[in-house]
Each structure stands twice: as structure tokens, then as C-alpha cells.
Structure 1
Amino acid sequence: MQKLTNHAKNEGERQGSQGSWDEAEEVEPQPLSAEEARLWRQRYPAASPWRIVAWQAVVGVLVAGLTGLVGLVSGWGGSSGGMLSSAGSVLYGAGAVVLPAALLARVMSRPVANHAAAAGVTLLRFFIWELTKLALTVAMLVAAPWLFPGLSWLALVGGLVVAMKVHGVAAWLEMRRMSRNAAESRGI
């Protein structure tokens, strides 16, 4: 109890020395001129969700091709039909991530009307479409045995996991690219 009291006392002293929020001088934000806004957008471009979706698709196709190639060369899986089935399963698993992500990227790329509630509308739209994306992924996984007769669940889950994990790597690479471009535009 003594620690809590001392902590509260220290906070009160610190707050008293800094003044309160009510007493702080408010600085009015100044709007940017058209040229300043253009330079700011050039220096800090918006990240494109399409690059991340493209990375997921490319890596999904590469892993599926690699699965088929390794299977054919090593004879793992018995026949060429079995290996093509495994490669197709990897591709279907990656597609179960990429196709709903592309739909979400498409919807979120559309502009929202410019009004006071635009941030709230955008957040609500994101939550609704993120749930839709998840539902589509689950629906694709449930439909997989009927759509893909020679399905390999292990390969499908492998493609699914690879496509999901590429999202993080692609986002990291995109952020590095953007910061490098920003540094170059500032002349650093």
C-alpha cells in the first residue's frame, strides 16, 4: 500500500511540474500548400497491398513448381500424377490465401467519401471485409475435396502456410523499399 501511495504522490508531483493538459498551449496545425503536399506524398508514398498479394501469389506458384519438380526427380509419391496432385494441392492452398487477400485489397483500395466519419467507415469496412476474407478461405478449404479429387492435405496446408508467412516477409520488404526511397528523395 505504501508503494502505491508513493507512486501516486510522485505522479502528482510530476504532473504538477509539467502543468496540465488544459493549461498547455495548443498549436494550430497549418495546412500544407499544394507543392508541400506533393513533395510529402513523393517522399512518403503509400504502401500498395497489391505488392504483398503479388508476392504471395509468386511464392505460392514457385513452391508448387518446386514441389512438382522435386517429386518428379526423386520419384517421391510414386507417379507423375501423384506429384502433379501434390503440386496442385500446394497451389490450391496458396490460392486459398491469395484469392481472398486480392478481394480484400481490391475493396480496401477503393476510396471512401471524404467526410468526418471516413476513418470510422474505413475501419468498419476493413473489419467486415477481413471477416469475409476469412470466411472465403474457410469455404475454399471445405470445398477442396470436392473441387480437387486427388487432394494431398499435407501439401495443401503447406501451400496455405507458405502463402500466409510470405505476407510478413513481403510487408517487411515493402517497408524497407519505401524507407530506402524516402531516404533517397531526402538526399541521405
Structure 2
Amino acid sequence: MTPTETRDKVLAARNAKAGTWDDEKSGDAGGEAAFKVLTREEAQALRAKNPLLSPWKVVAAQAAAGVVFTALWWLFAEGSVKAWSALYGAVAVVLPNALMAWGTTRRQVTNASAAVLSFAVWELVKILLVIAILVVVAKQVADLSWVAMLLTMMGCLKVNWLVLLTRGRNKSISDGN
């Protein structure tokens, strides 16, 4: 018996015990259709239609934004101190996020609780690394431009929204179907 068949039998048994629930015919209060369990083929088709966003695309976009911000500080600020500060800000965002992306994608986790634990651990590592980078930069760089560094950090962090916008909208939603 496959895992899908086992899951379907468990769900059927739960629905039979509930008695009063009729998920096939009723919807929710908003008039939407009730929850439908997908078959393996339907789930694969849905995944093919809406692929997962790779964290490496986000890291690459953050690195590109860091380069752009550093170049802008280099061009429009008097001197390279602000450009170096902007570069430190980009490193404080990109390096920890790259480490987290590597840590969470290096092996596939099949258990949901293990995935949540892995995410939480790598998020903690990321936060500690950001703090360490900022402390080292603050102590080691005498003429640090906090404005340039913090603005670059914010720009690199906010580029995540641009990555999400580049994915586009689902055609069935825009068609109204």
C-alpha cells in the first residue's frame, strides 16, 4: 500500500467517524469550495505550475543589490569610506543569508518537525553571524559611515520583495477562473 493510499484511508475513516461533516458538498462561510485532497498527479501538476522559489535566487538578488548600492555610494559620495561601509553592510546581509540557504538546502528533510527545527537553528546561526559581523566592523573600522552601511543593509533586505514580484501572478487568477 502506498503512502497516498494510506493517507486516503485515514482521511476516509476520520470523515466516517465525524458523521455530520460533508466536505464534498459543503463549502465555507465565504462560499468557497471545501478542502479537497489532491491525488499524486494533481499535486505534481500543481508543483510544476508553481515551482518553489530557490533561496539562492534571493541571495543572488541581495548580492546584486549590495553591489549596486556600493557602486552608488562610490559614485555619489565624496571618498571611498562610504562605499566601504556600504560593502560591509552588504556583507552583513548576504553572507549570513547564504550560509542559511546552504544549511537549509544541503539535504532534503522529509519530516516536518525536523524541517522546522533546521530552519530555526539556521535562523539563529544567521542572526548570530549578523551580530558578529556588525560588532567586528564597528570595532575594527575607525571611520565607518553608519548611514551608508545601514541603508545598504536595508536595501539588501528589501530586495526580497522584488524577487517575489518577478515570479509573476498565476494565469488562472488573472483570468478570473
TM-score (normalised: structure 2):
0.70
Larger relative contact order (C-alpha < 8 A, sep ≥ 6)? 1
How does 1:147-186 map onto structure 2 within 5 Å? 147-167=140-160, 169-174=161-166, 177-179=167-169, 182-183=170-171
Query: Do the aligned residues in 1 keep the contact of 2:73 with 2:83 (CA within 8 Å)?
Result: yes
Query: Do the aligned residues in 1 keep the contact of 2:61 with 2:163 (CA within 8 Å)?
Result: no
Which of 103, 118, 121 aligns to 1:128? It is 121
Which structure 2 segments of 5+ residues have no match? 1-17, 25-35
CA deviation after TM superposition for structure 1 residue 119, in Å = 0.8
How does 1:105-116 map onto structure 2 within 5 Å? 105-114=101-110
- 1:6 aligns to what? none
CA deviation after TM superposition for structure 1 residue 44, in Å = 1.2
Q: Does 1:138 align with 2:135?
A: no
TM-score (normalised: structure 1):
0.67
Higher helix proportion (structure 1 or 2): 1
- Sequence identity, in percent? 34
In 2 relative to 1, CA 48–30 (structure 1 residues): closer, same or farther, beyond 3 Å?
closer
* Aligned counterparts of 1:95 and 1:22: Cα–Cα separation in 2: 58
CA deviation after TM superposition for structure 1 residue 22, in Å = 5.0
Which of 49, 56, 62 aligns to 2:62? It is 56
- Deviation per CA, 1:24-51, whole angstroms, max 9, x where unpaired? 1467846323xx5543332111111111
SS at match of 1:46: coil
* Aligned counterparts of 2:38 and 2:118: Cα–Cα separation in 1: 30
Q: Does 1:103 align with 2:99?
A: yes
- After TM superposition, which residue ranges in structure 1, 4 or more long, deviate above 6 angstroms? none
Which structure 1 segments of 5+ residues have no match? 1-20, 77-82
How does 1:5-154 map onto structure 2 within 5 Å? 23-25=20-22, 29=37, 31-33=39-41, 36-71=42-77, 76=78, 83-114=79-110, 118-154=111-147
Query: Do the aligned residues in 2 keep the contact of 1:45 with 1:178 (CA within 8 Å)?
Result: no
Query: Do the aligned residues in 2 keep the contact of 1:96 with 1:137 (CA within 8 Å)?
Result: yes
In 2 relative to 1, CA 151–30 (structure 1 residues): closer, same or farther, beyond 3 Å?
closer
Counterpart residue type for residue 52 of structure 2: A
